[in-house]
Amino acid sequence: MANKLKSWKKLENLTERTEADILTLFDDANRATRMSYQVGGLFADFSKQRINVDIHKALLNLAEEADLEGWRAKLFAGEPINTTENRAVLHPALRGVGGSEEVKKQVRDMRAHMRKFSAKVRSEQNFNAIVHIGIGGSDLGPRLCADALAALTEPALELRFAENVDGASINDALAGLDPKSTLVIAVSKSFTTQETLMNVTAARDWLIEGVGDKAGAHMIAVSANRDGAEAFGVASDQIFDFWDWVGGRYSLWSAVGLSLQIAYGPDVFDQMLDGAAEMDEHFRDTPLENNLPVMMALTLIWNRNFLGYPSQAIISYARRLRKFPAFLQQLEMESNGKSVARDGGETVPTCPIVWGDEGTNGQHAFFQLLHQGTLGAPVDFIGVLEDAENRPEHHKALLANLFAQSEALMVGKDAKTVRTELEDKGLSEDEIRTLAPHKMFPGNRPSTTIMLDRLDARALGNLIALYEHKVFVASVIWNINAFDQWGVELGKVLAKTILTELGEHNSLDHHDASTAHLIGLARKSITS
């Protein structure tokens, strides 16, 4: 277990002795510079974290004891570090970093196929809309990037998404579109995912109704199960492959991103790949003490395991990154939401709950808890320096709020300051005594600020790859497998059984009383 490492014990001791106030750490005039990192178009400032020099050193020692450098080498070499499935983990190879010669060839061929196909669709102009159907990793990454890339690039085709098995999802995606000019892209690694198959079936029926036997020309599949896609009726030359060494939540960089490449162009998609590759190379080649993803993960470890924070807030002060918290919920919690170590034993507390929204919306919703709640949560603030919306006054206000919130979380407001403010307003002593406790802010609440120079494809690639590698580093230190997801299986299996039972009237005695009652309620609704 991670807590058996010598550095873990040292960090526990340092927790008891660490400075109570982040502000005191700024007695070091070089702190902000020393705790800031720049990779490509991305800047990260960790100086508002409760980490001093001794803690930073001990965290680095912890990473060394956990053999992070060895695990990092295995990742890029393509060794099967996903041990429960005996699979390599090679999403960096999709960006051209790492992997065997065979893998590199597969990636080159895939990228050439994608580029040729997307260029053809864009030049022929037979389609004016794409409906991208997938769920989880087959949806969240493309959906995030579709929003973000629109900051600087006008999509050539309208891009819509259907992910949920709720009929509203596919209805909304198809509403108002003309099947004659719509391309449907079904994305499913296994091509057995219930939600995706139901939505693709509905889309296929819609196409057949609109274009008859030409529907096949409007259907594309992206899958590791070519046989399954062909059996569904997708033509062989309209199936784009990806491989079992690409986890779903890491698959954006593969043909899963085909809809993005068609909508925004092959060059823009390649720029995003280049940005991710830039972060890959930094992570692979940079010593741990100067390594940005390593610092991200070590900060997470410190806040989660030693300061005891159970959650992590992600606040994007960029509307076009508003899907980033949802994307990270899958990336982080599906990867590291584990309670079993690699060897099958117990582990320390692992992934915190990841949550958040866009700024400044969150300020008018949950920032009360962040500032004055009993515990609060560490925050990753994410912003963009360059205004892409041609609204300079709006952009200045946006940045002002971002910077003010991180400062306010740190400095707080003490009793003396509150008392002075209330006295200046002319309140009586009784009124001050009553009101002052409610106006105080504890402060000393940690945050990291990440700024993109501009919201372009390359910086977006930097940002996503940063968090991917952060997840990997944390998993190494926690001694867990970040690349399987057995926890999603049980509910899916039970759902298949219940789906059958909803249309039957047989006994439900094998269910618990609550579930049996709920199925009974649904049966009445379905048959009425």
* Residues carrying an active site annotation: 334, 364, 492
The Cα diameter of the chain in Å comes to: 83
Dihedral angle computed from the Cα positions of residues 90, 92, 98 and 104, in that order, rounded to the nearest 10 degrees? 80
- Secondary structure of residue 323 in the 3-state scheme: coil
How far is residue 338's CA from residue 346's CA, in Å, rounded to a whole number? 10
How far is residue 256's CA from residue 460's CA, in Å, rounded to a whole number? 17
CA nearest 328: which of 443, 450, 162?
Answer: 450
Listing DSSP states for 396-461 in one string gives: HHHHHHHHHHHHHHHH-B-HHHHHHHHHHTT--HHHHHHHHHHH-B-----EEEEEESS--HHHHH
Quick check: bond before 15 cis, omega within 30? no
How far is residue 57's CA from residue 244's CA, in Å, rounded to a whole number? 37
CB 511 within 8 A of CB 519: yes
Q: Is the dihedral of CA 94, 96, 99, 102 positive or negative?
A: positive
How far is residue 248's CA from residue 53's CA, in Å, rounded to a whole number? 38
**Two tokens at 435?**
């009101």
CA nearest 114: which of 252, 279, 227, 281?
Answer: 252
How far is residue 123's CA from residue 121's CA, in Å, rounded to a whole number? 6
Q: What residues are paired with 105 via a beta bridge? A: none
